[in-house]
Structure 1
């Protein structure tokens, strides 16, 4: 078997159920790359059937262990310490830790409650077979290539409801390429389709200003970017139909950003209460004010410079209208309290001036 890498080893104590250890000859150790996908063919057949097949991923290794002598032996240590005098070290082999992803049935992956037995064959997966198993070949959105497989391109099918319309998560450490992956996905969604009916409208809430220059092509200055250009054969290009918007009275990294606002009368009052984080009494007062503004719209002048100024009722209400209503309500409360205090003071003054019989 040309793609045979090695065999599954006996288990170590306390090894996890979804992991196995593999033994590999040193001549094949160069093919052991972390995150590489492999297939494991079980060493014995099921009752009346063929042996189980598993798909896994190389998680750790390769680790190199001497064969005839122990690692701590003088022969092993001297051959390494004096490598210029001992050009040929003792024979050694490699070990790897494989994470079991699932069980293979044809080209489909299913969860498994079993695991490979010792002496199961560890087989390298070809690019075509891996494409078929992972379902990466079919699609019209090109995202990139699978790590360790330059010729295995990752594609999404925009017509499948199980991919783009559902939740998509992009996870990684700092600097791993999360933003770049999101930008590629946005570009593919916005530009890949040819007809207006099939094109996607992509809205990005960009709080860091990382996506504001996607209408400009990427500068191919980095050596890694030049290599990617050669692999995919694509010329950098910015988005054609691209617009940057910003909220009123907020700054943007782009001078041409257009200001937008949200009409507060289009927001449900209960949702507005949640946004403002009002208490129950405050919410009741807010709803009363909104009902009053809906029932009695504000009056505004349409053209104050006209010979005969005309007034008209405003359609809807603004946040300023709500604030003014609150101020007016508070002002009335203060005036009422002041009048009540004045009445009390006047009554006390009458009592003081009343003659004593």
Structure 2
């Protein structure tokens, strides 16, 4: 037989609270006689917006639960700054709301059946439960003697919580400076600002990251406008031509409306110059300050060229053999160093081929030497005309080396080589490089780095017409090196004269195409050049901005160069996890919001900010071309 169900008399009913033992009952009476704080006893409590809750087993270090009344709930929004006065031990803390506000029922738990019924039957039932608010506050520090120190204690339970004013909140968060990025979420009247002339901020380098449509390009355009207004020389490597019209005001209706709401107006930048590789079109062909340019082969490091051309190990050996012979021939033909010219001689000794190329060397010089090697490796039967009368004296050389082919062949035979296959492959890649028609073009000058560094000038390097990642990377590598060397010289002159140096901001769009994780191991010299620019730039006021929609393709070595981040929406959880490990300054609560950010919203982490913040980036007042 089955067990008999217990009768109601066998046990107390579940909804009846059993009586307290006499000892516990007396304790509760004594507790009720204890004095309590009240607003009447402490008028300051009238301004409190909440009180700290008791800790539980789920509590975390530096996180405090604050409860607020239904009426005060709207005052505590995300990123609101508060002061907690722990009166029991006479300590004062500053904190920021990082979770919530949440509305919790006063009477029953939110998971109870009755709570579900009251909410679901809202159309039929007039009755509801009263509720209170709950937020989680992260402690920023303990106030002591006018300073904010790391907290060694926690506020006691029932400590009153007060709102900080906008001005005081801005000071606490480090929102000071002439360059405004946007507004801080949760503070409509607080702007996210930093000092454009502070060496510890922009020269510490910045990453602008997010998926397509998240607002990266608008952020870049806004940054260009604000940097130009601050007198910063701004250089933009523009792979799509998006920023070739930033000297015109935006004509985007939504942007104009939002600008008016912020008390701003649509306007273009001043002193825009557009640079494009010779033979390639610009997306703004009618611009008044349009400059075609070519590259000097002699300015590019041979190691960087070998990496960008993706030469195999055998091809690299042939390349450097030909490069060394070309240097000897330049001296033989009195091209460089010139005879009895001590300046040329010293310049030759100072050449660092990890940074730059060999002076006066052209791509055609190198091609002529490679042609001479190929000629030396061919058997007589493969040469044009096997007879003695028809056999040419040597290869057809197109540079100055053609004046004395015998001298060229003598150098080649003195540095004899084999492996015709790798020489042929190298010749093919060098001819491919020549067909780009970008090197040593007489009708197109090189880039004027000095002019680019004019205070307040915006220089857009328009690479939209190239359709060649190799050419883009060669242009970026060459101009970066030239800018770094020019800024170095300007810094030395400014320091000698006791004058400030012009700040420089270099924005690199689609940075993952220039320095991808898959290629970084194959391009160590190129990365070292970028790392050298980044390290020296911190002292020479040269700030780099890497913009990418594919941060997973950037190596940790590149991300490690960045100290400031503007992170727009990212939907890939694996990318978020990797970025979370890389950018340690952003707390988990903010990372949880990254996948839900609206266009224009971003998590901003700058070296002057007390903590990373969610911001609404200001709309761009300049015209930006939309790119599919």
Indicate whether the TM-score tops 0.5: yes
Match of 2:190 in 1: 152
Partner of 2:246: 214
Q: Is structure 2 residue 297 aligned with structure 1 residue 264?
A: yes
**What is the alpha-carbon distance in structure 2 between the residues aligned to residue 110 and residue 177 of structure 1?**
36
Q: 1:117/1:65 Cα in 2 relative to 1: closer, same or farther (>3 Å)?
A: same
Residue deviations 1:57-84, cap 9 Å, x none? x232222222123335565344323334
- Contact 1:21/1:95, CA 8 A, preserved across alignment: yes
Report how far residue 143 of structure 1 moved: 2.6
Equivalent residue number for residue 228 of structure 1: 259
In our comparison, the structure showing a higher alpha carbon Rg is: 1
Instruction: Give the C-alpha shift of residue 238 in structure 1.
Output: 0.7
CA contact (8 A) 1:145 1:152 kept: yes
**Aligned counterpart, 2:218:** 180
CA–CA distance in 2 between the matches of 1:171 and 1:102? 30
Q: Does 1:51 align with 2:91?
A: yes
Is the CA contact 2:141–2:151 (under 8 Å) kept in the aligned structure 1? yes
Query: Which is worse superposed, 325-334 or 166-175?
Result: 166-175
Q: Is the 8 A contact 2:78 2:185 kept in 1?
A: no
In 1: Cα distance, 2:305 partner to 2:236 partner: 23
Separation in 2, partners of 1:38, 1:144: 22
Tell me which residue corresponds to 2:120.
81
Cα distance change, pair 335–122 in 1 and its aligned pair in 2 (3 A): farther
Partners of 1:108 and 1:146 lie apart in 2 by 23
Q: 2:329 aligns with which of 296, 310, 315?
A: 296
Determine if contact 2:325/2:369 at 8 Å carries over to the other structure. no
Sort the Cα spacing of 1:108 and 1:182 in 2 relative to 1 into closer, same or farther, 3 A.
farther
Alpha-carbon distance in 2 for matches of 1:101, 1:170: 26
Match of 1:245, SS state, is strand
Contact preservation (8 Å) 2:101, 2:134: yes
Q: RMSD in angstroms over aligned alpha carbons?
A: 3.3
Q: Say yes or no: does 1:37 pair with 2:94.
A: no
* Structure having the larger proportion of residues in strand: 1
- Is the contact made by 1:43 and 1:119 (CA closer than 8 Å) also made in structure 2? no
1:67-146 aligned at under 5 Å gives the runs 67-73=106-112, 75-105=114-144, 109-112=148-151, 114-137=153-176, 139-146=177-184
Contact 2:93 2:139 in 1 (8 A): no
Residue 325 (structure 1) aligned with residue 369 (structure 2): yes
Change beyond 3 A, Cα 1:114–1:184? farther
With 206-215 and 254-263 compared, the bigger mean Cα shift is at: 254-263
Deviations 1:106-145 (A, max 9, x none): 67555446544433333222101112212324x2223322
Q: Which residue of 2 aligns with 1:309?
A: none
Of 82-91 and 169-178, the range deviating more from structure 2: 169-178
Larger RCO (alpha carbons 8 Å, 6+ apart): 2
Match of 1:335 among 379, 394, 403: 379
- Of 104-113 and 288-297, deviating more is 104-113
Q: Shift in Å at residue 265 of structure 1?
A: 0.5
Give the CA deviation at 1:294.
3.3
Written as runs of structure 1 = structure 2, the 5 A alignment for 1:162-177 is 162-171=200-209, 175-177=213-215
After TM superposition, the score normalised by the length of structure 2 is 0.44
In structure 1, stretches of 5+ residues that fail to align are 193-198, 300-314, 343-357
* Alpha-carbon shift at residue 327 of structure 1 (Å): 3.1
1:25-76, Cα deviation, whole Å (9 max, x unpaired)? 111111232233333333542xxxx4041322x2322222221233355653
Corresponding position: 1:63 with 2:94 = no
Instruction: Extract unaligned runs of 5+ from structure 2.
Output: 1-43, 334-358, 387-628
Rounded Cα–Cα distance in structure 2 between residues aligned with 1:104 and 1:170: 34
SS at match of 1:99: strand
Deviates more, 1:121-130 or 1:71-80: 71-80
Instruction: Assess if the C-alpha contact under 8 Å between 2:179 and 2:195 holds in 1.
Output: yes
- Separation in 2, partners of 1:240, 1:43: 56
SS in 1 for 2:238: coil
